[in-house]
């Protein structure tokens, strides 16, 4: 049996317009785009079908080869893609950065032109069901309630619950993005706690 040489691969985080997330992932098969599928009914016959949605609209992930392999990699070229840069100062507002509204100490402050990287485990924990991560008040989530992401890539992000699906996916309208600069996301209920 062959094992994966890198069970937790590293990714460069790329940004794009939310509407371009799925098309870009189809144009560039190397890019990882976590998705979920939503059942819908269409037409007069109310035919049931499934629509695929990106879990993290505007985020795509480019796998970085193991540095020990000494393999050169080329980021897909597109005017719609740009590498993500994490904030390096304090924000005055969730969308602006200065000293009035500091980032928590747990959020790393990197130089202004450093690119953002993550690991597969940081993405997968937000979209997979992990019963052991649930806190006592994660079951109190309802439409309109405030919730915080407790694990994974967006740990600490706060938002308002706008949709709850039967498969455990919860859509958040983000209120405090901690420098990730996005307005919506879909995460599993197991990584949310009610505020």
pLDDT tens per residue across span 16-40: 998 999 999 999 988 999 988 877 7
pTM for the predicted model, two decimal places:
0.74
Q: In what order do the strands lie in the sheet with 192-194?
A: 184-188, 169-176, 158-164, 146-149, 192-194
Per-residue pLDDT at 20: 93
4-9, Cβ contacts within 8 angstroms, sequence gap of 24 or more = 5/66, 6/66, 8/119, 8/120, 8/121, 9/63, 9/64, 9/119, 9/120
Stronger pLDDT, 145 or 73, i.e. the higher one? 145
pLDDT in tens, 60-87: 999 987 666 555 667 778 888 888 876 5
């Amino acid at each position: 049996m062959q094992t994966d040489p890198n069970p937790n691969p590293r990714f460069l985080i790329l940004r794009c317009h939310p509407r371009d997330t799925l098309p870009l992932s189809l144009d560039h098969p190397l890019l990882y785009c976590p998705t979920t599928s939503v059942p819908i009914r269409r037409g007069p016959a109310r035919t049931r079908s499934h629509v695929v949605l990106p879990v993290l609209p505007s985020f795509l992930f480019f796998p970085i080869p193991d540095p020990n392999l000494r393999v050169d990699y080329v980021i897909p070229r597109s005017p719609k893609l740009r590498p993500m840069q994490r904030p390096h100062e304090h924000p005055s507002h969730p969308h602006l950065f200065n000293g009035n509204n500091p980032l928590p100490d747990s959020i790393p402050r990197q130089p202004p032109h450093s690119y953002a990287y993550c690991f597969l485990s940081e993405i997968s924990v937000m979209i997979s069901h992990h019963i052991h991560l649930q806190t006592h008040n994660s079951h109190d989530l309802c439409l309109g309630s405030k919730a915080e992401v407790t694990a994974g890539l967006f740990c600490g992000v706060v938002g308002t619950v706008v949709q709850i699906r039967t498969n455990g996916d919860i859509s958040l309208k983000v209120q405090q993005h901690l420098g990730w600069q996005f307005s919506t996301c879909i995460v599993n209920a197991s990584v949310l706690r009610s505020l």
